């Protein structure tokens, strides 16, 4: 056990050494440098990120994140050409200006800048008239950004004061004199009117409540043969074949997500040198998998935030192999016939 722990520590230290030397690195390069399989390299990298010993980019390069040390954050700029169109435009604009105010951006750029979290950091300013959001470029120091924001806000104050200073001329007119006519008052004798109050006597009637007897309901117990039992969906031969395969390969099914005639989806767990690793098993009853099959499987893996284990009775075609290779940090293939 101590030997296994020592080996694990040595592998982690070797990965950290590679990150110090290379800077931001893809999992495929980590795997080559450490002689690990892609699945083990990804597992070690995930553990380093969870322990805050390394960081992982939000940006994806061919579907795979970039791993780096905290001190190499600014070197992520070397991968900015992998950003999509609008995100790259927002990146270039922010890098040039260093600081941008959210309300000054066009809607498309406003959305894009929120997607480049590796490079755009928000600074929110609370003012009496409401909040204002500014975006700071990653290599632009926060203190410098705050000073720039203060300068912007201070420069706006004189303009606001001038707008509020508007001379209002008030013309005061003297009230016109009104002639009040003479009013004569005469005395009128008022005799008090005596009213006789009639006392009404209300007779309250007693209400008699009659209780109605309700019929007794008899409960009859039905025999089991007449009770409709919920139908249990039977698994298809393909799903049963996958379950048997996982059992033979010592792959534990943690949670079954979907089971169809020719598709099976589940979260599984496999044993590794560093313990048990979770994967999303995407299984298809198909002899030849194409690029679209790989894309669909990777989309599902991103939703569940787990590396994908694609299982099929066939193999990948050439385009699928090339595409899967670019996602090697997250994609693993297992043939049922192997």
Kindly report which listed range (42-51, 141-150, 211-220) carries the lowest average pLDDT score: 211-220
pLDDT band at 124 (very low <50, low <70, confident <90, very high): very high
Task: Fill in the DSSP letter of residue 188.
Answer: -
Q: Which fold has domain 83-158?
A: Arc Repressor Mutant, subunit A (1.10.10)
3-39 confidence digits (pLDDT tens): 444 478 889 999 999 999 999 999 999 999 999 888 8
Mean predicted confidence (pLDDT) in 89-104: 94
25 DSSP 8-state letter:
B
Are the C-beta atoms of 80 and 65 separated by less than 8 Å?
Answer: no
With 0-12 / 13-18 / 19 or more C-beta atoms within 10 angstroms meaning exposed / middle / buried, residue 209 is: exposed
**Sequence-separated contacts (24+) of 134-137 with Cβ below 8 Å:** 134/99, 134/100, 134/101, 134/102, 135/94, 135/99, 135/100, 135/101, 135/102, 136/98, 136/99, 137/94, 137/95, 137/97, 137/98, 137/99
pLDDT of residue 223 exceeding 70, the answer is no
Q: What is the DSSP letter of 186?
A: -
- Does the pLDDT value for residue 126 go beyond 70? yes
Residues in Cβ contact with 325 at an 8 Å cutoff, skipping those fewer than 6 apart: none
Position 271 scores a pLDDT of: 79
Give yes or no for residue 253 having a pLDDT over 60. yes
Q: How far is it, in rounded angstroms, from Cα 333 to Cα 331?
A: 7
Tens of pLDDT along 49-66?
Answer: 988 999 999 998 877 899
Q: How far apart are CA 83 and CA 119, in angstroms?
A: 11
Residue 99 gets which letter from DSSP?
E
pLDDT in tens, 181-212: 554 545 545 455 545 444 444 444 444 444 44
Q: Would you list the domain boundaries of the chain?
A: 2-78, 83-158, 237-335
What are the C-alpha distances in Å from 320 to residues 30, 61, 276, 296? Answer: 23, 17, 28, 12
Name the β-bridge partners of 267: 255, 280
pTM here is 0.50
Lowest mean pLDDT among 39-48, 277-286, 319-328: 319-328
Fold of 237-335: Trna Endonuclease; Chain: A, domain 1 (3.40.1350)
What percentage of the chain exceeds 90 in pLDDT? Answer: 43
What pLDDT is stored for residue 43 in this prediction?
86
- The domain made up of 2-78 has a fold known as Arc Repressor Mutant, subunit A (1.10.10)
Residue 189 is predicted with a pLDDT of: 53
> What is the average pLDDT across 246-271?
91
DSSP conformation letters of 259-319: E-SSEEEEEEEEEETTEEEEEEEEEE--SEE-HHHHHHHHHHHHHHTS-EEEEESSEE-HH
Judge if 2-78 and 83-158 fold alike in CATH terms. yes
Cα distance between residue 80 and residue 295, in whole Å: 23
Residue 328 reports pLDDT greater than 90: no
What is the per-residue pLDDT for 1? 40
Number of residues that this document lists for the chain: 338
Is the pLDDT at 234 greater than 50? The verdict is yes
Q: How confident is the model at residue 321 (pLDDT cuts 50, 70, 90)?
A: confident
Position 103 scores a pLDDT of: 92
Per residue in 157-184, pLDDT tens?
665 444 444 444 434 344 454 454 554 5
- Res. 71: pLDDT tops 90: yes
Alpha helix ranges (H) inside 114-254: 142-164, 237-248
């Amino acid at each position: 056990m101590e030997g296994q722990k020592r080996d694990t520590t040595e592998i982690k230290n070797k990965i950290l050494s590679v990150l110090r030397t290379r800077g931001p690195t893809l999992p495929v390069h980590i795997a080559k440098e450490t002689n690990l399989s892609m699945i083990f390299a990804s597992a070690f990298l995930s553990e380093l990120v969870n322990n805050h010993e390394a960081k992982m980019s939000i940006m994806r390069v061919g579907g795979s994140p970039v791993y780096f040390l905290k001190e190499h954050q600014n070197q992520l700029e070397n991968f900015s050409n992998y950003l999509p169109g609008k995100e790259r435009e927002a990146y270039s604009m922010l890098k040039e200006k260093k600081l941008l105010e959210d309300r000054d951006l066009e809607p498309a750029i406003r959305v894009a800048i929120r997607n480049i979290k590796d490079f755009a950091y928000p600074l929110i300013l609370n003012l009496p008239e409401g909040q204002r959001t500014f975006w700071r470029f990653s290599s632009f120091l926060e203190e410098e950004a705050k000073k720039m924001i203060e300068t912007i806000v201070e420069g706006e104050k004189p303009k606001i004061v001038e707008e509020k200073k508007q001379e209002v001329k008030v013309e005061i007119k003297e009230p016109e004199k009104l002639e009040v006519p003479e009013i004569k008052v005469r005395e009128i004798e008022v005799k008090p009117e005596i009213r006789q109050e009639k006392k009404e006597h209300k007779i309250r009637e007693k209400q008699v409540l009659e209780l109605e007897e309700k019929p007794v309901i008899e409960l009859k117990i039905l025999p089991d043969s007449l009770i409709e039992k919920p139908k249990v969906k039977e698994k298809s031969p393909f799903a049963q074949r996958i379950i048997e395969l996982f059992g033979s390969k010592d792959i534990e099914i943690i949670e079954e997500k979907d089971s169809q005639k020719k598709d099976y989806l589940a979260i599984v767990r496999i044993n590794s040198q560093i313990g048990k690793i979770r994967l999303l098993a995407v299984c298809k009853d198909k002899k030849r998998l194409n690029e679209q099959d790989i894309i669909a499987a990777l989309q599902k893996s991103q939703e569940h935030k787990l590396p994908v284990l694609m299982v099929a009775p066939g193999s990948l075609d050439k385009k699928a192999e090339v595409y899967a290779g670019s996602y090697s940090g997250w994609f693993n293939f297992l043939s049922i016939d192997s």
